[in-house]
Amino acid sequence: MRMNQGVEWAVHVLLSLAWVDDGEPVSTARLAASYELPQAYLNKQLQALVRAGILESLPGARGGFRLARPAEKITLMDVVMAVEGPEPAFQCTEIRRQGMGADAPESSFRLACAVNTSMQRAELAWRKSLASQTIADVKAEAELHAPAIAGVARRAYGRD
């Protein structure tokens, strides 16, 4: 069970765009260059963020991407959902009904599969933690770790 690499890219890109506080969009080319990522593939991932309403895209020359809402309103859960899709990691296939339990009365399956319930409980804890952390939080922590980074980013994405 490995998470898509796009999630890591997306969070870093969102941080970068959060540092560019003016409303100027930043192109995929510049974003890709600043992390040495394959430009076309990064673009593909960013499109998912646009579809999810996290980013706004501006076409044409001087176009690019910018945050669709303030960083305080973007949670890590939003990002993961946008890139990975909404399906839970653990998907119950109801094998309890197969074979041995095939001829059990329907009433036995009224309540949810206990295995699924337990796994979903764990996944919910994961989701809650992701939902409790915003891009702004991560940004603050990053600046705490390396205060120079905000300036570096602003300079890297500046128009000139």
Partner DNA sequence: GTGCGAATACTCGGATACCGCGTGTCCGAGTAAGTGAGG
Partner DNA sequence: CCTCACTTACTCGGACACGCGGTATCCGAGTATTCGCAC
Binding site for DNA (CB under 7 A): 1-2, 4-6, 25, 27-30, 38, 40-41, 43-44, 46-47, 50, 57-65, 85
C-beta of 61 vs 148, nearer to a copy of itself: 148
CA atoms within 13 A on the CB side of 50: 14
User: Considering only CA atoms, which of 32, 30, 25, 31 is closest in space to residue 60?
Assistant: 25
What residue 154 binds from DNA, a copy of itself, none (CB within 5 to 8 A, per partner kind)? none
Q: How far is the CB of 37 from DNA (least distance, A)?
A: 8
Q: Left, alpha or beta for 84 (phi > 0: left; psi -120 to 50: alpha)? A: alpha
The dihedrals phi and psi of 57, each to the nearest 5 degrees, come to -110, 140
Q: How far apart are CA 112 and CA 96, in angstroms?
A: 11
What x-and-dash track marks residues 139-158 binding a copy of itself by CB under 8 A? x-xx--xx-xx--xx--x--
| Contact status, residue 55 vs residue 19, Cβ threshold 8 Å | no
Give whichever of 56 and 84 is closer to a copy of itself, judged by the CB atom. 84
Q: Which of DNA, a copy of itself, none sits in contact with 158, Cβ below 5 to 8 A by type? A: none
Contact partner at residue 57 from a copy of itself, DNA, none, CB < 5 to 8 Å by partner kind: DNA
**In the complex, what is the shortest distance from the CB of residue 116 to DNA, in angstroms, rounded to a whole number?**
16
Q: Which is nearer to a copy of itself, 59 or 159 (CB)?
A: 159
Please, what sign has the CA dihedral across residues 20, 26, 30, 31? positive
The reply on whether position 29 binds a copy of itself by CB under 8 A is no
At 85, phi and psi to the nearest 5? 95, 165
